[in-house]
Amino acid sequence: MTLHREGHKIIIGCTIAFAIINALLFYYFQTPPWLKYSVLVITGVFYFLVLQFFRYPNRTLTYDDKYIVAPCDGKVVVIEKTVESEFYKDERMMVSIFMSPINVHANWYPIGGIIRLAKYHAGKYLVAWHPKSSTENERTTIVIEKDTKRTILCRQIAGALARRIVFYPRQNDIVKQCSELGFIKFGSRMDIYMPADTKILVGLEQKTTGGVTIIGEFR
C-alpha cells in the first residue's frame, strides 16, 4: 500500500497545518489540557482519514481483451440500457458505480485501446446518485476503442463532496487495460457505457474492485 501522487500536496499541507496547530496549543498558548488533547485527537483522526483516502493499493490486476474491468472501487448502483447522447448517440448498456469517501479513488482503464475522446465538462455538484448528475455535474467523458466492436465510454462524475476530477488521457493516446485513468477527490461516481449486447457480469449492490472485478464481456 502506497500513497497516490494526487494526494502528496494535500498530505504535506495537512502535516504542516496540524503540526503548527498542536505546537501552538501545547507550547505557546495557555490552554487547558482537555482542549489540547481533544484537538490532538481530532487532528490525528482527520489526518488518518486523509491518508486513507489517498491510499493506492497493491493488487493483482485483470488483463483480458474479451472482458471489461471495473474502472474503480465502489458499489454498482445502476444497470440499464440507455441512450448515450454525447458521443455514440445510440443505445448502450450502462453500469454505474458509486464511490463513497472511504473507497480507493484511483481510476483504471476498463479496456485497452486508443482514446477517441477525452473531454472535461464543468458543472454542478449534485449528489452522485442524483438522476441528473451524469449530465449536469462536473464530469469527464473518455472513449476507449479497441476495435469497431469493442469500444466503451467512461464518465467520471463529481459528487457533492468531489471538487476535483483528475484524468490523464488525451485524444489519440494508446492506453493499456488497467493502467491509470485518473483520480476523483472525495466521493464520486463512474458510468461505463458498453455495446448494447455486452454480457453483464455484475449485479446491483455488488461491490467492485478497480482493475480487478470483471463487469462485462464483449459478445
Phi and psi dihedrals of 96, rounded to 5? Answer: -115, 130
Determine the angle formed by the axes of helices 8-27 and 33-53, rounding to 10 degrees: 170
Exposure b/e, 53-90, CB count within 10 A at least 16 = b: bbebeeeeebeeeebbbbbbbbebbbbeeeebebbbee
188 counts as catalytic:
yes
Q: Which three cell numbers stand for residue 79?
A: 444497470
Residue of 96, 133, 134, 188 marked catalytic: 188
Tell me how many degrees the CA angle 164-175-167 measures, rounded to the nearest 5. 5
Q: If you search the block for the grid coordinates 463513497, which residue do you land on?
A: 100
Give CA–CA dist 135/86, Å, rounded. 9
Closest CA to 157 of 139, 141, 143: 139
Concatenating the DSSP letter of every residue in 103-171 gives: S--EEE-SS-EEEEEEEEE--B---TTSTTHHHHBSEEEEEEESSSSSEEEEEEEE-SS--EEEE---T
Which residues are designated catalytic?
188
